[in-house]
Amino acid sequence: MIPFANTYARLPERFYARLAPTPVAAPRLVRLNTALAAQLGLDPDDLTADVLSGNLVPEGAEPMALAYAGHQFGNFVPQLGDGRANLLGEVAGRDIQLKGAGRTPFSRGGDGRAALGPVLREYLISEAMHALGVPTTRALAAVTTGEPVARETMLPGAIVTRVASSHIRVGTFQYFAARQDTDGVRALADYAIARHYPDVSGYKAFLEAVIARQAELIARWLLIGFIHGVMNTDNCSIAGETIDYGPCAFMDAYDPATVFSSIDRQGRYAYGNQPRIAVWNLARLAETLLPLLADDDDQAVAIAQETLSGFGRTFEAAYFGGLRRKIGLSVERDGDNALAQDLLTAMAKNQADFTLTFRGLCNAAVKPERDAAVRDLFVDPSAYDAWAARWRQRMAFAFETPEARRDAMRAVNPAYIPRNHNVEAALNAAIENDDFGPFEALLTVLSRPFDDQPGFARYAAPPAPSERVHQTFCGT
């Protein structure tokens, strides 16, 4: 028996629509995350294909679709909501949601379903992000539905069971603020504080805490070359977790202007723009909280602006601290941030692979003759040589042994990321041939991203020119 609770159901009825998932024809379990199930205290025998597809609603679950609004590529949409997702409830304090579970009152004409490719992508990327140490939603299971879904072509349907600390978004607050429903904003804020920020006191402290978590999250994204792709306010979790994996991707060659999402035609959510967009999203959250921050409008705005200014300090501390660790500098000295930034500049000019450059530095930190693997990544190897000479001068002031420095660097510089060409190959095998072997193999490798894994070198290699993925798609 699954021990469900649903504290969100205690909120007013205008916060959600109660409805059960739409049954599917022939559910088949293709992946169960038994390790995550154990963490949640769940018996895998209870997690049947019928339960994980929504055909059978477990006792104690209170299925619902949540209401929210959001800015999508800068344009405000006053009603979005869970158009294909169904929150069953909470287990061990974590939300359990079926994504692709059928139409809801928020579907806006959509079919409420998900195709197999996006379901497997979310499973792979979210679990890889977890292994990389990035706060994220998790994937508990993936099932196929036995029903096709129509996109540009007919595709196999599927449902992913998503586990999250919270499904409250910036857009959830916007939903009530847009309706001038201050009581709704207050009720939502009180709920979010009680459940997700029990150690903070007051609405200003709540806003500060959300800002801090988002700043640290975006820094972590940049440090592993991750590009979310759709940083709309309805995809921005107040719990500080990465949520809604659509056209997300990882960079190969370093370039701050990198964009993969087919719908991001202006580069709004490019890799290097993500900190700025996060601040923009958080400013929208602050706007919804103005009536709660002070009775006087000008005073409330001043409080919000002062609080938002904390993003930059927190982000820079997390980002530059992470960059220093990536190049083996555990104690900060003047000039360290510039040294790290100069490496990124040289990488961008020389089309150097982001992940392989930093991973290669781990061995180069032990012996200079191991530089070859890194310098070969640069179109002009002399650009690396010039930077490496300065790097070694700086490391002469470090206290660790070279071997200790290498081990510390390996703990923050992954050897394996979900490279786009490997992800696409795994998804295509499942979609076209019902072959989940490549998916399982990739998932296994990505579960240990910081370990050298003999026999799996091809998963660490960048794509050949013919394998490069230039666009990723949302899948809705």
Which residues are part of the catalytic machinery? 234
Rounded CA separation 168/190 (Å):
12
Q: What is the DSSP letter of 156?
A: E
Other Cβ atoms less than 10 A from the Cβ of 452: the count is 12
- Tokens describing residue 10: 């205690």
Query: How crowded is the C-beta side of 454, counted as CA atoms within 13 Å?
Result: 0
The residue among 218, 235, 321 whose CA lies nearest residue 271 is: 218
3-state secondary structure of 5: strand
Rounded CA separation 381/452 (Å):
25
Rounded CA separation 194/100 (Å):
29
Name residue, tokens 């998916």: 439
Query: How crowded is the C-beta side of 225, counted as CA atoms within 13 Å?
Result: 30
Rounded CA separation 292/307 (Å):
14
Query: How crowded is the C-beta side of 32, counted as CA atoms within 13 Å?
Result: 16
- Tokens describing residue 229: 């792709």
Residue length of the chain: 476
The residue among 161, 164, 167 whose CA lies nearest residue 46 is: 161
Q: What is the DSSP letter of 204?
A: H
Amino acid (one-letter) located at 197:
Y
Largest CA distance in the chain: 66
The residue among 294, 471, 330, 474 whose CA lies nearest residue 407 is: 330
Other Cβ atoms less than 10 A from the Cβ of 55: the count is 19
The enclosing H or E element of 139 equals strand 138-150
CB-based burial of residue 63 (10 Å sphere; 0-12 exposed, 13-18 middle, 19+ buried)?
buried
Cα–Cα distance list, 403 to 367, 396, 408, 415 (Å): 10, 14, 9, 17
Rounded CA separation 245/230 (Å):
8
Angle, alpha carbons 141-426-358 (nearest 5°) = 100
Number of H helices, E strands in the chain: 16, 12
Rounded CA separation 410/312 (Å):
27
